[in-house]
Amino acid sequence: MTRFFGFFTVPAEIDGRTYPMVVDTGSDQTTIEPAMANVWHLQEDKFGEHKVTGLGGEEAGIIRASFRP
């Protein structure tokens, strides 16, 4: 486990490549950047865009993606 900008990350291997993934024990979902969804060829679910709010009150728009090729 590594501390990265105040967050703890662990190495996760996806499709033969290793990426740092944030450990969030208080979340019931996993979020990734849209650019990574494109790299991994993930399909967007039909639920549209959602907003999430971080600990500091910062908001971000996310999309839901399926882990299906």
User: Which pLDDT score is estimated for 45?
Assistant: 65
Question: How much of the chain, in percent, has pLDDT values that exceed 90?
Answer: 3
Q: What is the pLDDT of residues 7-29, one digit of tens each?
A: 888 998 888 989 888 877 777 76
Cα–Cα dist 62/52, whole Å: 7
| pLDDT above 60 for 69 | no
Q: Which element (helix H / strand E) includes 49?
A: strand 43-53
